[in-house]
Chain A
Amino acid sequence: MVKKMNLSLIDVLIRPDAFFGNLKNERESLKIPALIILAGGIAAAIYGYLMGGLSAKMMADVMPGMDTIIIVSATAGALIMTFLFWLIVAGILYLISFLFKGQGSFNRVLEIVGYGYLPQVAGSLITIVVAIIYIPNISVPTLTKAALEDPAMITQVTKAFMHDPAMMMLSQITTLVSIVFMLWSAHIWIFGIKHARGLSPRDAAICVGVPIVIYVLYLTYNLGVM
C-alpha cells in the first residue's frame, strides 16, 4: 500500500480530513492520483467493453466491421472519459473555490480529485460484476440497413433495447452504485478541497456538494424516466 507520511491510502477512504491535512504539507505529486484514475479508467473501459458488445450486437447487421468499431470506441472512450472527468471535476472545483477566495494550485486540486476518485474504482468493479451477471439475459434487437434509414424504427429498437427487463435492472443497479460511490467521492473531495484551497468546511461542502448533488439528482431523474 502506498504510504503518505504516516497515513496509508486506505485513510483516504476512512479518514480523508487527516489524510489531506498531511498531504498539503507534501510536495504536489500527480503520480498516485493518476494511477488511481488509470485504475478507474481500466474498470470503466471493461464496463464499456461489455456494454459496447451489446450495442455492437444491435448494429452487427448494418455494416461489416461495425461491431468492432463500436466495441473499440466504447472501450477507449470509457478510458479517455475517466481522465477527462478527472480534469473537468478538478476544473469545476477549482473555479467554484474561487468564489470562496480559495488559494492553492490547480495541480493540488487535481491531486485531491484523483485521490477522491478511489471509491469510484471500487464502484466500477461492482458494476462490472453486475454487468457480467445481467448482460447474458439482455435481449438485444438487431438493426438492419433498411431500419437504419427509418428514424422511427431506430427509436423503437433502441427503446426496446433500453426497456429490456434485464437491461433496466442493470441500469438501475449501476446508477445506484454510481450515486453511492460518487457521494463517497464527494465526501472525500470536500475535505480535499478544504485543505487544497484553504476553505472552511462549510465553503468546501458547498463548493463540492452543490455540483455533485446536482449531478446526482440528474442521474436520479434519468433513473425515474427510464
Chain B
Amino acid sequence: MRISQPTTIICFLLLLSILPGVAQAYTTPESIVASGNVYISRVIYDPGAFFTGDTGTVTVYVTNGNSNQSIVVNHATIGDKNIRLISSPYDTSANIGPLQTQTFIFSVATDAFEGAYYPTFSLSFRDADSLYYRAMVKVDNTPLELTIIDKPDAFTQGKKKTINMQVANPRKNNVTNVVLEVTGEGISTTPARTFIGDLGPGAKLPVNFTITPEKATTVLLTLSYDNGDNLHKTTMELPVTFSVDKKQAEPVISNVQVTTAAGVYHVTGDVNNAGLETANTVMVTALAPAVPQDPYKTYVVGALKPDDFGQFEVTFTAGPGNTSIPIELSYKDTDGNIYRSIQDVKISSSGISNSPAEGSSSNMVPVAAAIVIVLIFVGGWVYYLRRNKQ
C-alpha cells in the first residue's frame, strides 16, 4: 500500500499534537506551584555521627505545605559515594495529603574518613519535577574516654584496692548501652561489669570498682558501647605490680619482757603502729613449738591508730631445747584483709637459767642426785657390813 506524502505529513503533525497533549494532561502550572510548597521538614540520622564502617538509618520527613492540595510522589532515594544507600529506594507512588508529612527511611553505610558529608535526597513528583535536598552527616571516629581518676600507690597481694574511673563521651552524639568490664588473670574485681547505660554528648560519669590481686598482672578495662546499632569498644590496660604500700599499718613489737612461772612463759611487751593507716584487731600469739596456755593464749590489742601503741601479754609453754619462740603479730586493714608478721623472742637468755624448759641438760641434776643417793645407800651398807664383820 502506498501512502501519499500529504498523508504522512498529516499523521506526523497529528502525533506531535498528541504528545504534548498527554503531558499537559498532569503537569499544570498549578501542580508545579503546588510541588513548590513541598519541603523537607526534618532529617534525622541514627546514629547522629557515624564511625567509619558504621551502618545506620536516615529518616527524611517530607511535608506538603499546601493547605488544599495533595501531592503524589513516586520515587525517593538518598546517598552518594561516601554515604551509601544499602536499602532499596522508594519506587512506588505515595500521596501526601495537604499539610501532611511523609517519612522516608533509608539504611545507609559509610566507609568514609572523618569529615562532613552531604548525601543528596531526591524526591520525584508525579505532577512536577523532582525535589533535591542535601542532608549533612558527620563521620567522627572519636571514641569514648576512659580515665583513671584515682588509684592506689601500690598493690599488695590479697588486699582489696579501689580504683576510681571516669567515663566521658567527647562525641557529638548520644551513645547507648555503655558497659565497663574489668578482667585480668589472678584478680577478683567487684563489680566485674558495670552497666552505665546512655551517655549523652559531652557527658561524663564516675565509675568505681575494687581489685583484689593474687599475683602481679595486667588488668584490662574494656568500655563497650553502641553507636546506633554498631558496637564499639575502648580498652585500657592497668598494670598491677606488687610493692610495699607506703601508707599501710606497720605494727612493731618492742619492750619485750620474758618471765616464767611453773613452766609457763609470760611474754609482755608493747605494740607500736609505725605505719600511716590504722591497724585493726591487732592480735599477738605464740607459734609452734610454743604451746599457748591460758590465761593469754592470744592477746587482742585492738585497733591501733598511726603512732598509737598498746601492750600485750601472751602465755605459753615450750618444750626442751627451745631457745627462742616465734611470736605472731596479726592485724586487719579496713577491708578485713589479714596481715601477719612473725618476730622471734629469745626465752633462754632472759634469766630463766633454772627453767624446766631449758633442755635435756636439766635432767642431769636429778640424775646426779639419784646416783648420789644410791651411792650413799650402797656405801653406807658396805661400811656397815665391814664394821660389823670386824
The residue on B at minimum CB distance from A173 is B366
The residue on A at minimum CB distance from B355 is A165
Question: Which residues does chain B contribute within 8 Å of A224, judged by CB atoms?
Answer: 363-364, 367
A160-B319 contact, Cβ under 8 Å, with A139-B291, A201-B385, A223-B367: yes
- Say whether B97 faces chain A, with CB atoms less than 8 Å apart: no
How long is the Cα–Cα vector from A75 to B374 in the complex, in angstroms? 30
Assess whether A175 is in contact with B263, with CB atoms less than 8 Å apart.
no
How long is the Cα–Cα vector from A166 to B370 in the complex, in angstroms? 20
Q: What 1/0 flags go to A154-166 for Cβ under 8 Å of B?
A: 0000011001111
A141-B291 contact, Cβ under 8 Å, with A164-B263, A176-B370, A213-B374: yes
- Say whether A73 faces chain B, with CB atoms less than 8 Å apart: no
Which B367-387 residues have a C-beta within 8 angstroms of A?
Answer: 367, 369-371, 373-374, 377-378, 381, 384-385
A166-B374 contact, Cβ under 8 Å, with A134-B262, A201-B388: no
A220-B367 contact, Cβ under 8 Å, with A169-B356, A183-B374: yes
Assess whether A166 is in contact with B319, with CB atoms less than 8 Å apart.
no
Question: Which residues does chain A contribute within 8 Å of B348, judged by CB atoms?
Answer: none
Assess whether A175 is in contact with B366, with CB atoms less than 8 Å apart.
yes
- Say whether B357 faces chain A, with CB atoms less than 8 Å apart: yes
Minimum C-beta distance from B138 to chain A (A)? 74
Number of A-B contacts (CB under 8 A): 88
Interface majority SS (helix, strand, loop, mixed), chain B: helix
- Say whether B320 faces chain A, with CB atoms less than 8 Å apart: yes
A187-B356 contact, Cβ under 8 Å, with A139-B293, A139-B317, A175-B370: no
Assess whether B366 is in contact with A176, with CB atoms less than 8 Å apart.
yes
Assess whether B262 is in contact with A217, with CB atoms less than 8 Å apart.
no
Question: Which residues does chain A contribute within 8 Å of B263, judged by CB atoms?
Answer: 137-138, 164-166, 168-169
How long is the Cα–Cα vector from A132 to B212 in the complex, in angstroms? 54
Assess whether A137 is in contact with B264, with CB atoms less than 8 Å apart.
yes
Question: Which residues does chain B contribute within 8 Å of A141, judged by CB atoms?
Answer: 291
Minimum C-beta distance from A96 to chain B (A)? 16
Interface majority SS (helix, strand, loop, mixed), chain A: helix
Question: Which residues does chain A contribute within 8 Å of B319, judged by CB atoms?
Answer: 159-160, 163-164
Assess whether B378 is in contact with A166, with CB atoms less than 8 Å apart.
no
A172-B355 contact, Cβ under 8 Å, with A139-B291, A186-B377, A213-B374: no
Considering only CB atoms and an 8 Å cut-off, how many residues of chain A contact the other chain? Answer: 36
Which B242-284 residues have a C-beta within 8 angstroms of A?
Answer: 262-264
Assess whether B262 is in contact with A187, with CB atoms less than 8 Å apart.
no
How long is the Cα–Cα vector from A226 to B367 in the complex, in angstroms? 10
A190-B366 contact, Cβ under 8 Å, with A164-B317, A165-B317, A179-B374: no
Question: Which residues does chain A contribute within 8 Å of B388, judged by CB atoms?
Answer: 201
Which B67-108 residues have a C-beta within 8 angstroms of A?
Answer: none
Assess whether A226 is in contact with B262, with CB atoms less than 8 Å apart.
no
- Say whether A209 faces chain B, with CB atoms less than 8 Å apart: yes
How long is the Cα–Cα vector from A196 to B385 in the complex, in angstroms? 19
How long is the Cα–Cα vector from A54 to B356 in the complex, in angstroms? 19
Assess whether A166 is in contact with B373, with CB atoms less than 8 Å apart.
no
Which listed residue, A134, A166, A172, A219, touches B363 by the CB 8 Å rule? A172
Which A182-226 residues have a C-beta within 8 angstroms of B?
Answer: 183, 186-187, 190, 201-202, 205, 209, 213, 216-217, 219-220, 223-226
Assess whether A179 is in contact with B291, with CB atoms less than 8 Å apart.
no
How long is the Cα–Cα vector from A205 to B369 in the complex, in angstroms? 22
Assess whether B381 is in contact with A179, with CB atoms less than 8 Å apart.
no
Which listed residue, A138, A139, A169, A179, touches B373 by the CB 8 Å rule? A179
How long is the Cα–Cα vector from A201 to B320 in the complex, in angstroms? 45
Assess whether B374 is in contact with A216, with CB atoms less than 8 Å apart.
yes
Assess whether B357 is in contact with A165, with CB atoms less than 8 Å apart.
yes
Question: Which residues does chain B contribute within 8 Å of A216, judged by CB atoms?
Answer: 370, 374
How long is the Cα–Cα vector from A209 to B293 in the complex, in angstroms? 45
How long is the Cα–Cα vector from A216 to B317 in the complex, in angstroms? 30
How long is the Cα–Cα vector from A217 to B375 in the complex, in angstroms? 11
Question: Which residues does chain B contribute within 8 Å of A169, judged by CB atoms?
Answer: 263, 356
- Say whether A7 faces chain B, with CB atoms less than 8 Å apart: no
The residue on B at minimum CB distance from A137 is B262
How long is the Cα–Cα vector from A186 to B381 in the complex, in angstroms? 11
How long is the Cα–Cα vector from A64 to B252 in the complex, in angstroms? 45
Minimum C-beta distance from A16 to chain B (A)? 12
Question: Which residues does chain B contribute within 8 Å of A205, judged by CB atoms?
Answer: 381, 385
A163-B320 contact, Cβ under 8 Å, with A223-B367, A224-B367: yes
Assess whether A217 is in contact with B374, with CB atoms less than 8 Å apart.
yes
Which B7-43 residues have a C-beta within 8 angstroms of A?
Answer: none
Question: Which residues does chain A contribute within 8 Å of B318, judged by CB atoms?
Answer: 165
Report 20 cross-chain contacts, Cβ distance below 8 Å, ordered by A residue. A137-B262, A139-B317, A159-B319, A164-B319, A165-B317, A165-B355, A166-B264, A168-B362, A176-B369, A179-B370, A187-B377, A201-B388, A209-B378, A209-B381, A213-B377, A220-B370, A220-B371, A223-B366, A224-B363, A224-B364
Given contacts A176-B373, A220-B374, A225-B363, 12 further A-B contacts (CB under 8 A): A159-B319, A160-B291, A163-B320, A164-B291, A165-B355, A166-B356, A169-B356, A179-B374, A217-B374, A219-B370, A220-B370, A223-B367
